[in-house]
Amino acid sequence: MSTRAQPAGAPPPPETETGQAPDQAALSAGARQERRLGWLLCAPAVVVMIAVTAYPIGYAVYLSLQRYDLRFPGQAEFVGLGNYGAVLSSPFWWDAFWVTLFITAVSVAIELVLGMGLALVMHRTIFWRGTVRTAVLIPYGIVTVVAAFSWQYAWTPELGYLAELLPTGEAPLTEQWSALWLIILAEVWKTTPFMALLLLAGLALVPEETLKAAMVDGATAWQRFTKIMLPLMKPAILVALLFRTLDAFRIFDNIYILTAGAHGTGSLSILGYDNLFTALNLGIGSAISVLIFICVGIIAFTFVKLFGAAAPGAEVKR
């Protein structure tokens, strides 16, 4: 926990790891009682989480240390980190890694800008507020696979209305770059509303009177946005970015439908899926899954470290 400046009105942070407040020892019986109750209330959820996630994750780690091919059940053997070596030295892993990183960075950046725009529109809408918000959310409500199929058909020559806009014979889903951009488009279309919703919640954090005061002081709209809104919205922006980055990094369904990973468009999740379900190589496949898990962990950890107090998990309340 860092001791960054807190937004006004936030309570002091509860006990920090160093320099325990003297009242730590003297926690009143009531406070202790309350903390116990808190743990008791959490316990069922914690138990369920451990039951449904810890076992599969542990099993995946165990499998990743084996040479284990479903087709040769008699030949399973312990190979230590051999599978990790095979994966990390494979050009297929690195191709997929850079593709995944590219899709993640570009789509999240575009979503942040568009989402912010949508959030501002929704925030300022006076009439039909509910209708506007519902309309914006529709793409997020459609099942990804269904939406992906409609994109796929739309971009297929002879079938699709979007392919007709292109010169004849163009099949954009068959070239690496055009396919990557279409995958990003599908992702952005689908998840921008989610981003917008999280940012809208952040906009509610910005007090109206602060903005009015700035206007009186002669701040332009851009200055009000960059100097007041953005800093105050930081926690919400970070939550939105973190959630979307973690989601985008694990991208699977859009690619699976649009290109199935052909033409150099496969993400890490597609690579893991193919090695597990097509090659039936549980060892290599699990190693890929664990590596994806580690990447996701690194991303989350980086966010929390870099943006300390504003990151989720830090105490930011209003």
Partner 1 sequence: MLAACGGDEASGRPTLNWYNFPDDSGALQKAADRCSQASGGRYSISYNKLPRAADGQRQQLVRRLAAEDDSLDILGLDVTWAAEFAEARWVREWTGKAKQEAVEGTLRVPLQTSTWKGKLYAVPYNTNTQLLWYRKDLVPTPPRTWAEMLDMADALSRQGKPHLVEVQGAQYEGLTVWFNTLINSAGGSILNASATEPSLGPPAERAAGIMRDLANSPAADPSLSNQMEDQNRLAMESGVAAFELNYPFVYPSMRSNNPELFKNFRWAPYPRVDANRPARPTIGGIDLAVSAYSRHPDLAFEAALCLRNRENQLTAALEGGLPPTLRALYDDSAFMKEYPFSTEVLAALESASVRPITPVYQNVSIAVSHTLSPPSGIEPESSVATIREQIDDALRSEGVIP
Chain residues binding partner 1 by CB under 8 A are: 67, 69-73, 75, 86-87, 90, 92-93, 95, 158, 169, 171, 174, 261-263, 266, 271, 274-275, 277-281, 283-284, 288
- Write down the least CB distance from residue 271 to partner 1, Å: 7
Closer Cβ to partner 1, 76 or 120, answer by number: 76
Closer Cβ to partner 1, 66 or 245, answer by number: 66
- Write down the least CB distance from residue 278 to partner 1, Å: 6
Closer Cβ to partner 1, 237 or 268, answer by number: 268
Cα 62-242-202 angle, rounded to 5 deg: 150
Are 162 and 155 contacting, i.e. CB atoms less than 8 angstroms apart?
A: yes
Helices (H), 250-281: 253-258, 268-273
* Tokens describing residue 193: 């509303």
- Write down the least CB distance from residue 174 to partner 1, Å: 4
Query: Residue 260 corresponds to which amino acid?
Result: A
- Write down the least CB distance from residue 274 to partner 1, Å: 6
Query: Residue 108 corresponds to which amino acid?
Result: V
Closer Cβ to partner 1, 67 or 190, answer by number: 67
- End-to-end CA distance of the chain: give it in Å, rounded: 18
Cα 113-115-119 angle, rounded to 5 deg: 120
- Write down the least CB distance from residue 106 to partner 1, Å: 23
Closer Cβ to partner 1, 87 or 122, answer by number: 87
Q: What distance lies between CA 54 and its chain's CA centroid?
A: 21
Cα distances (angstroms) measured from residue 200 to each of 91, 123, 223, 235 = 42, 7, 19, 12
